[in-house]
Amino acid sequence: MIWEIDDAPKAVEGLDENGRPDPAYAAALGLRTAPFGRRVLATVLELALALLLALPGMLVLVPIALDAVSGALDLDALFARDDLVWLIVGVSVSQALITAYTIVQLVLHGRKGVTFGKGLVGIRSINVRTLERPGFWRGAVVRYLLIGATFLVPIIGPVLVIAFSPLMDSERRGRGWLDLAAATWFVDVRAGLNPYDVKRMRIARKQFRTALHEEVAPLPSLATPTELHAPAEYVPTARFSGGVLGAHRTTGSGPTGAAPAAAAPGGPLTAAPAPAPVPASAVVPTPAPTASPGAPGAAPVPATGMVTGTPFTPRADAAPVPPAVPPAPAEPAAPVEPGPASASAPPMPPVAEAAAAPAAAAISPVRAVLVLDSGERIEVRATTLIGRAPSPAAGEGAVQLARIDDETRSVSKTHLAIQIARRGAMAVDRASTNGSALVRDGVETMLLPGHPVELRTGDIVNFGDRSLRVEQL
């Protein structure tokens, strides 16, 4: 077995031509700069907690330090105190708490971009180039060492570096001198995208890379009304690659048998002019059928007529129509003499032939063959639902269910549908969480939820972290 190691450098998205982070890219993903007021509040909360943990040691060391400064410190009297052991315990506990608090802050900031104060106010720290965690050494250790160095110049250093330097950012992203040195950026996870939500971040990056097709306005219905004043309401019955089959449903009232409405180009539907009255000589009456003797009292069927249209008059500038070729006379069929069994058997009604059709269509042929990234094959014979726990919608009819094992739960319960079309198959995203994409000739196109896309042999459909390939149509 040969193992291939991809040692190529990882491509970093969101950098401009000079290799600097592009603020427009981060804004397109949905990342928002943390407000300055909340950043100050997070710092104040962290300092307050640190002072609270250091309080036992400060109660012991501050009086001793004041005596040492004033020259009134007596070491013999200090070591002769009865409570010296408790003083040492208080200082040791305070130092241990401060050390543990600092280590926890460093680890959380480097790996999760969050600290005690940032977690309370809803902001996170990320690397400004990769938009991922800032890192332990540069993003956390270097930053905290610089913060400690600012206190070497009391009051002025912390105020200038921590408070005022973020206000001088030319990109207006609130990045101060500490952020420039640590390559960090504070973002607001309440009003914007949380960069540590891996699933949402992956979807945002994919949507930015993929050019979505503009949804065109729906075309007017081609259904023919059956009444004069009825609106052309469209009722879909089936969808195929060549168009949509539909039935017209009337909602208004009008005279039965009136002329259908005609749609003027670019305008509303208008009623077509009524046809000219048909002369009585054009009506060819047909004899009324006689009632069967086995049904006494049956009402007689009224006579019906066949209306012939007016003769067609060609235009003056129309091309001459070639004469119609008379059809060849049909050869008379040979008479078939009924046998003794067929003469006595009653004729088979046409309903029996229609009832045999569903039985023949129960075993549908294979319309498409799909190969999953795990090597499993799916033979598509009807509408196939793919997901972790697929289930058909109400009124969807008979479907195939293809259950996908996905430990990362990137695949929705009913993620993707493969529908049968007249000339192949169609892929439809079922409003999944992570979305679906069609890869054809190296170009990836996102699937809009509910919009079918025709599949071709060799296409790859990505759904969540899984994928399938169209092997045969």
Provide the pLDDT for residue 313.
44
The answer, yes or no, to whether residue 123 has pLDDT greater than 90, is yes
Provide the pLDDT for residue 284.
44
Provide the pLDDT for residue 257.
42
- In whole angstroms, give the CA distance from residue 248 to residue 357: 27
* Amino acid occupying residue 155: I
Residue ending a domain, among 209, 229, 255, is 209
| 308 in any annotated domain | no
The answer, yes or no, to whether residue 328 has pLDDT greater than 60, is no
- In whole angstroms, give the CA distance from residue 4 to residue 373: 19
Least confident window among 215-219, 275-279, 311-315:
311-315
Residue ending a domain, among 163, 188, 209, is 209
Provide the pLDDT for residue 168.
87
* Amino acid occupying residue 383: T
62-71, 249-258, 425-434: which is most confident: 425-434
Question: 383: domain CATH number?
Answer: 2.60.200.20
| 138 in any annotated domain | yes
- In whole angstroms, give the CA distance from residue 12 to residue 19: 9
Whether 134 and 183 have beta carbons less than 8 Å apart is answered as yes
Whether 173 and 27 have beta carbons less than 8 Å apart is answered as no
Please report, rounded to a whole number, the percentage of residues in the chain having pLDDT higher than 90.
Answer: 32
| 350 in any annotated domain | no
Pairing of strands 460-463, 436-440: antiparallel
Beta-ladder partners of 429: 416, 449
The answer, yes or no, to whether residue 267 has pLDDT greater than 80, is no
| 30 in any annotated domain | yes
Those residues with Cβ within 8 angstroms of residue 283's Cβ, 6 or more apart along the chain or in another chain: 305, 306, 307, 308
| 229 in any annotated domain | no
| 356 in any annotated domain | no
Rama region for 442: left / alpha / beta (φ>0; ψ in -120 to 50; rest)? left
Q: Which helix (H) or strand (E) covers residue 124, if one does?
A: strand 123-127
* Amino acid occupying residue 108: L
| 84 in any annotated domain | yes
- In whole angstroms, give the CA distance from residue 366 to residue 345: 40
Those residues with Cβ within 8 angstroms of residue 39's Cβ, 6 or more apart along the chain or in another chain: 121, 123, 166, 174, 186
Least confident window among 79-83, 171-175, 432-436:
79-83
- Per-residue pLDDT reduced to its tens digit, 416-459: 999 988 778 899 999 898 899 999 998 999 999 888 999 999 99
- In whole angstroms, give the CA distance from residue 348 to residue 344: 12
Provide the pLDDT for residue 82.
84
Mean pLDDT of the chain: 75
Residue ending a domain, among 154, 186, 209, is 209
Please report, rounded to a whole number, the percentage of residues in the chain having pLDDT higher than 70.
Answer: 66
Residue 449 per-residue DSSP state: B
Phi/psi at 183 (5° precision) = 55, 45
- Per-residue pLDDT reduced to its tens digit, 138-163: 988 998 898 888 888 888 888 888 88
DSSP assignments along 291-338, one per residue? PPTTSTTPPPPPP-EEEPPPPP---TTSPPPPPPPPPPPPPPPPP---
| 27 in any annotated domain | yes
- In whole angstroms, give the CA distance from residue 206 to residue 99: 42
The answer, yes or no, to whether residue 384 has pLDDT greater than 60, is yes
CA-based end-to-end distance of the chain: 34
CA dihedral sign of residues 294, 299, 303, 307: negative
Phi/psi at 265 (5° precision) = -65, 125
Tell me how many degrees the CA angle 228-229-233 measures, rounded to the nearest 5: 105
Mean pLDDT calculated for residue range 354-376: 67
| Residue that has been written with the tokens 């296409």 in this structure | 459
Q: Which domain holds residue 427?
A: 368-472
Going by C-alpha positions, the residue among 228, 224, 231 that lies closest to residue 251 is: 231
Total number of domains in the chain: 2
Whether 108 and 115 have beta carbons less than 8 Å apart is answered as yes
Q: Which helix (H) or strand (E) covers residue 8, if one does?
A: none
DSSP assignments along 230-243, one per residue? ----EEEEEEETTE
